[in-house]
Amino acid sequence: MIGIELITDEIPPLKHTDTGEKALLWMDEFKVNHLSVLKGESFVGLVSEDDLLDKADLSYTLTELFSHLPRPYVKGTSHVYEVLNLASIDHLTVVPVLDEEENYLGNISISNLMQNIAATGSIKEAGGIIVLEMSDTDYSLAQISQIVESENAKILSSFITSSEMSKNLELTLKINQLELGRVIKALERYDYHVKASFQRNSYHDDLKDRYDELMNYLNI
């Protein structure tokens, strides 16, 4: 997915001649904290709810209220990861999209984008999750995939998180199996540290079934 494919028509841009009152009204209507501002077809910048609430009189136009607005944006050819990175760094609810000449193309709603990502097959498909912790020098997705596949399982998706406070990274794996015991044991045999796992536990399911059977027997 790239920027131009993620544009939503549900959130229109403001004009630089619109008032601060109108900007806040639209933010409330579209459930966002940011809106793009245009002068003609040119992208002026992004106005935020916080910036507007700092102003004493919102009856003035955006041009009168702000001599300068921040200009975060992505290109139409930018990958979805770039969109998410910009939204995360600047805490944006809306990301403007521009073409190579910096002409305005539209807005990306981060709320809609997250819904689209959540609807992808790798997230919706049934399976379990394993979180591995390792140093960056020990990271090899190819080797980890081989270990997982040796247990007749497959990795549906993966992502890495890291902290500036640690040299280690966390690798989160979505596996196409609900029972992860064999995969976890295989990873541990290769000295991978399994920090967490999220799965259906057959032992606890069996224990609950036996408990329910006992309660039914005692009620007879």
pLDDT tens for each residue of 37-86: 999 989 999 999 999 999 999 999 999 999 999 999 999 999 988 999 99
CA 11, chain centre distance (Å): 19
Closest listed residue to residue 139, CA positions, set 170, 182, 165, 166: 170
Report how far residue 15's alpha carbon sits from residue 117's, in angstroms, rounded to the nearest whole number: 31
Q: Domains, the chain, ranges and CATH?
A: 3-117 (3.10.580.10), 130-203 (3.30.70.260)
Strand, helix or coil at 77?
Answer: coil
Regarding pTM above 0.85, the answer is: no
